[in-house]
Amino acid sequence: MAFDTFGEFINMGGHGFYVWLAYAIGAGIFLFNVLSPILYRKKLVKDNQRRLRREQS
């Protein structure tokens, strides 16, 4: 499907809201799946360092 203007591309024949919302939800899920393990690992490392310091003293 070809669009004549950028505005038509964004509007997607009246379905733009749903199309772009689906892309945004997909991107949000993707970001969550990437960032969640990274942040969880950081928390685990910090907790382990705190526990080791407590055990050494």
Q: How far apart are CA 47 and CA 45, in angstroms?
A: 5
Q: For 4-45, write each residue's pLDDT tens digit.
A: 999 999 999 899 999 999 999 999 999 999 999 999 999 999
47: left (phi over 0), alpha (psi -120 to 50) or beta: alpha
Q: Is the pLDDT of residue 57 over 90?
A: no
The residue that leads in pLDDT, 44 or 2, is 44
Domain boundaries of the chain, sorted by first residue:
13-56
Q: How far apart are CA 8 and CA 50, in angstroms?
A: 56
Q: Is the pLDDT of residue 52 over 90?
A: yes
Do 17 and 10 contact (CB within 8 A), yes or no? no
Give the pLDDT confidence score for residue 36 in this predicted structure. 98
Q: Is the pLDDT of residue 1 over 80?
A: no
- pTM to 2 decimals? 0.72
